[in-house]
Structures are given as C-alpha cells and as structure tokens.
Amino acid sequence: MTPGVLDQCLKLAQGLADAAGEAIRPYFRQPLTVDDKADLTPVTAADRAAEQAMRSLIESRFPGHGIIGEEFGRVRENAEFVWTLDPIDGTKSFISGVPLFGTLIALTRARRPILGIIDQPISRERWVGVVDRPTTLNGAVIRCRACPALAGATLFATTPDMFREGDAAAFARVSSAVKLTRFGADCYAYGLLAAGFIDLVLEASLKPYDS
C-alpha cells in the first residue's frame, strides 16, 4: 500500500478518536441511563453518540469503506478497507467512573489489521499503531519491555469471570506461573504492554471490534 493512502487513513483515524472523545467526555461521571444489550453488556448514550460521530466521519471521507461498529452494526463489511469501532471498550469501567476504558479504532485491509488506535479521552492518552511503523503514545515512540521468563511477568486480564471451564484451567496455569496478576483494565492493558509496564494480556472473549 502506498504511504499516501495509509497516511490519509491515519489522519481520519485521528479525527475519529478526537470526535469520539468529544462525544464521550460530557457523559463521564454523570448520572447515566444504562441499558442492557441483548448480551447483557451495558451500553450508554455515550457509546451511541461516539459511534455515530465516528461513522458519519467515515461515511463522508471514505464512503466505500466498510464499518463494523459495536452499537450500530455492519455496512459494506466485505469492502477492501473495513473500520472496526468500539466507542467505549470497558463500558463497565466507564459507568463506574473509572478512566480505564478506551475508544478502539481499527482498520483492516483484506481482513488484516493495518492500523489501530486506543484512545483514553479522560487522561488524553492516545496509542497509535500502524503496520510496519513504530507504535506511539501521544506522539512518542514506545517499546515493550524485555521479559525473558514468566516468573518475572505481570499479567493482565479483563475479568476472571470470562474464563469458563477449560479456559479457566488454562488461565490458572499461566496466572500461577507469573509474578503478578491484575484484572480490570480492558484495552488499557494493551497500551500498558506496548509502553513496557506489563508483560502479558490473556483474554477469552475478545470481540472482532476489539482486535
């Protein structure tokens, strides 16, 4: 892919993250109506407002691109370029007033991930990953840290409840081998791993828009 196309997509992705943050911030730590979706995960007006803002920007800039959104479904999902949007990954953190949720924006080309953003709109931290380029946090290049052995590793998972039956046993084997296990950071854990503060993330029910 030519750098021009990728850079145009990156510029849009940055605009999507800006728009989502603008939509989300007014709702944080305010009284909210929380609906339970069919899968019993909570959704708020903030999720819907952020996804609508992002979808309308994609539709106006790249009307041929596909969109898969957590709240409003799929359009053109077989297009060459498909955006996957999770306006608030970590809605349970969000509704609890915990600023460890994030807006996830990903772009796939021919089903392979080529661009990803994790944006934390309260702390105003933005991780940007582009295929074959170094990852940045608020513009500064970051690296994972070395961790030669599990005995020295810090492990994160969203919640122990996600590991069922055989998955729970597998998680327990890893958790018992590491130095420290922590729960609850959702997508923020990937940012911490990319910035060199933690070593492993194990999840059992990640959805396509989270990858």
Q: What residue ranges bind another protein (CB under 8 A)?
A: 82, 84, 104, 106, 108, 111-118, 127-135, 142-150, 153, 167, 169-170, 173-174, 177, 187, 190-191, 193-196, 198-208, 210-211
Smallest separation (angstroms) from another protein to the CB of 133: 6
CB of 115 to another protein, least distance (A): 6
Instruction: Tell me whether strands 73-75 and 102-109 are parallel, antiparallel or unpaired.
Output: unpaired
CB closer to another protein out of 16 and 114: 114
Q: Are 211 and 111 in contact (CB under 8 A)?
A: no
Hey, how many other C-beta atoms are within 10 angstroms of the C-beta on 154? Answer: 19
Which residue, 27 or 114, is less far from another protein as judged by CB? Answer: 114
Q: From the CB of 170, what's the least distance to another protein, in Å?
A: 4
Task: Identify which of residues 23 and 106 has a Cβ nearer to another protein in the complex.
Answer: 106
Neighbours of 4 (CB within 10 A): 8
Dihedral angle computed from the Cα positions of residues 106, 109, 111 and 116, in that order, rounded to the nearest 10 degrees: -20
Based on CB atoms, which residue is closest to another protein, 49 or 202?
202
- CA atoms 82, 207, 184, 90: torsion sign: positive
Query: Smallest Cα–Cα separation from 187: which of 101, 111, 129, 63?
Result: 101
- State the minimum distance, in angstroms, from the CB of residue 70 to another protein: 14
Closer CB to another protein, 95 or 117, in the complex: 117
For residue 10, give both structure tokens. 């990156």
What's the closest the beta carbon of residue 68 comes to another protein, in angstroms? 8
* φ/ψ of residue 63, rounded to 5: -65, -15
